[in-house]
Structure 1
């Protein structure tokens, strides 16, 4: 049974709070991009990983084998990787051979690594990993779109009358055109007596977007359709 070492408690709390803070930054970036796993998920993953690592390091100092028995402090920490694999798989989905959520799953995996580094006392390493995440998000993403042969993800911005089943018809036409659409943003506009919705869809598939825009503009209740280049990369 492990005995509480009060002298190490302040250090442990600082490490856990550091993991919480760093992984919250990672989660905030995902939240601002409106991803399925955001601020709370990343913060909890990082904090939990730090706690597991600290438990692994401090919680099994005294083993049934007696004083001086060797303690393998890596056993608990090693299982974090397996558990995070299942959690990350939950945010990945495939629709018509288009994979979504890979980047978010990788960021959850990174949050676990940051938390483990904090729990092990490797705060500079955890801070460096957090910085590299933002380097990837803010620098590598726009850089990848400038590479030869790379095409930026495309979207369609629709403005339609609210409350008349227009969105259902829009999604039906998108499906008929063999396109995959996901909502990037949605907001209500228009006057109080004639509510409207402005919807930005991320669209992927074989059909040309100009053709899709023409087809969608013919739907009764659709007030306007425009193509738009998105900032996100596939797999986010």
Structure 2
């Protein structure tokens, strides 16, 4: 161990932890699976692996004159994919967690940059990450999409209070709701109600439908094209 460089190496690890914690704060604010602790630990680990790769050793314990940092870096990149995959899940064709998984991947890259003595570059990458998620992302959500031509058809047992739970769940996800039609289905057992609702919000409607299908009492939740929009 070269004690003369301990201070600079510790500063690099601390820089990785700080920058990745800023990334984690944004994810934690949006109540995602991976928050401050996960991002900070990923950045610190990637930084440490990179530093170790820059200071290899031989079998006798002496320092080798040639490093193998690129091999270590490659293993970090491939290994971090398993952690990112752990926060991605699919629910009825709706994929969730991709942004968080990408953030973990970027956190590893920032940690590696700090370990490779590229702290200014890591700081720029952190700033760009926050710019994309906190500024560009919300602007992109405001852009018109094909979801505006889609309606949601929901079926649930009559007199079960399910519609109230549906609208509450949609509101919590940031959607506004407008019930367009309601039809009682007496042919079902027990009697059920079929409602058509227009939801407007930032997230893709398929994500909302996946969540609404899990609301207690909901028998089915499907998307369909608004025929009136097609006529216009």
User: By the TM > 0.5 criterion, same fold?
Assistant: yes
Q: Of the candidates 172, 175, 197, which is equivalent to residue 200 of structure 1? A: 172
Cross-structure match for 1:219: none
Q: Confirm or deny: 8 A CA contact 1:145 1:151 kept in the other structure.
A: no
Cross-structure match for 1:117: 113
| Distance verdict in 2 for CA 1:41–1:68, change over 3 Å | closer
Name stretches of at least 5 consecutive residues in structure 1 with no aligned partner: 153-165, 175-180, 185-198, 216-226
Structure with max Cα Rg: 2
Give the drift of 1:69: 5.6
Q: Confirm or deny: 8 A CA contact 2:177 2:199 kept in the other structure.
A: no
- Say yes or no: does 1:141 pair with 2:109: no
Mapped to 2, the partners of 1:229 and 1:46 lie a distance apart of 37
Give the drift of 1:142: 2.0
Mapped to 2, the partners of 1:127 and 1:113 lie a distance apart of 11
Q: Of the candidates 10, 13, 25, which is equivalent to residue 10 of structure 2? A: 13
Cross-structure match for 1:92: 88
Q: 3-state DSSP class of the match of 2:143?
A: coil
- TM-score, normalising length from structure 2? 0.65
- Say yes or no: does 1:54 pair with 2:62: no
Cross-structure match for 1:36: 33
Give the drift of 1:13: 0.2
Mapped to 1, the partners of 2:79 and 2:58 lie a distance apart of 26
Cross-structure match for 2:178: 210
Give the drift of 1:73: 1.9
Give the drift of 1:61: 4.3
Q: Confirm or deny: 8 A CA contact 1:141 1:233 kept in the other structure.
A: no
Q: Confirm or deny: 8 A CA contact 2:46 2:109 kept in the other structure.
A: yes
| Distance verdict in 2 for CA 1:119–1:140, change over 3 Å | same
Mapped to 2, the partners of 1:108 and 1:212 lie a distance apart of 41
Name stretches of at least 5 consecutive residues in structure 2 with no aligned partner: 149-159, 184-197, 208-232
Give the drift of 1:146: 3.5
| Distance verdict in 2 for CA 1:85–1:182, change over 3 Å | farther
| Distance verdict in 2 for CA 1:113–1:133, change over 3 Å | same
- TM-score, normalising length from structure 1? 0.64
Q: Confirm or deny: 8 A CA contact 2:147 2:204 kept in the other structure.
A: no
